Amino acid sequence: MRLPCLTLALVALFAAPALAQDAGAQPPGAQDVDAEAARCRGLETEKAALTAAGIPADMEKGPQWASANLPKERLQKIGRFIEIDEQLKFRCPDVFASAAVKAEEARALQAAKEAQAWAQRLEEAAKNPPPPERKPITAVARTKARDDGTPPLPERATR
């Protein structure tokens, strides 16, 4: 008696996607992917708004400071920020992967700029070398200098 119900369920399970594709509709998983991407964009937007409101700066000061100095609404926003961050890490790994790639690109660009500036400084130094450093005037040399402005006579080495 259960066999016809099971057969009907299997036919419905396998035939429905084929009929939907024939009718020009999207496959069942495509709508889920679009909905998940839209949810990730919404979470990103909300996290950006909370970041602009200064929530990460409040979090850096620690939980004891926050509970003692912040109003309840601000603490709720901090909780929401943490929740959004966890959801983004768990449900939207592409967001963090792209953020890591962007951070690496920015670091590489900064390193290239520093290398270019260093090469430019070396090139300028090769064109205009600095004068040699002179020996510092010692106390002995100052005492041997004459008052009339002439340099002192050279000393002979003693035997």
Q: How is 75-140 classified by DSSP, letter by letter? A: HHHHHHHHHHHHHHHHH-HHHHHHHHHHHHHHHHHHHHHHHHHHHHHHHHHHHSPPPPPPPPPPHH
CA distances from 75 to 1, 21, 72, 80, 150 (A): 59, 49, 5, 9, 78
Q: Is residue 34 part of a domain?
A: yes
The two three-digit tokens of residue 33, written as one number: 């992917």
Task: Indicate whether 101 pLDDT > 80.
Answer: no
CB 28 within 8 A of CB 20: yes
* Residue 19 within a domain: no
* Structural contact between residues 82 and 33, judged by C-beta atoms closer than 8 angstroms: no
pLDDT confidence tier of residue 148, bands split at 50, 70 and 90: low
User: Which one of 91, 108, 138 terminates a domain?
Assistant: 91
Q: Highest mean pLDDT: which of 24-38, 83-97, 99-113?
A: 99-113
Quote the domain boundaries for residue 66: 26-91
Task: Please name the residue that has the structure tokens 């090769």.
Answer: 126
71 and 35 housed in the same domain = yes
User: What's the mean per-residue pLDDT of the chain?
Assistant: 76
Rounded Cα gap, residues 119 and 100, in angstroms: 28
Q: How large is the average pLDDT for residues 89-97?
A: 73
Mean per-residue pLDDT, 1-9: 49
Closest C-alpha among 44, 33, 155 to residue 96? 44
pLDDT confidence tier of residue 83, bands split at 50, 70 and 90: very high
Regarding whether 119 and 63 lie in a shared domain, the answer is no
- Whether 33 and 73 map to the same domain: the answer is yes
Domain count for the chain, please give it: 2
Same domain, 32 and 76: yes
- Predicted local confidence at residue 10, as pLDDT: 46
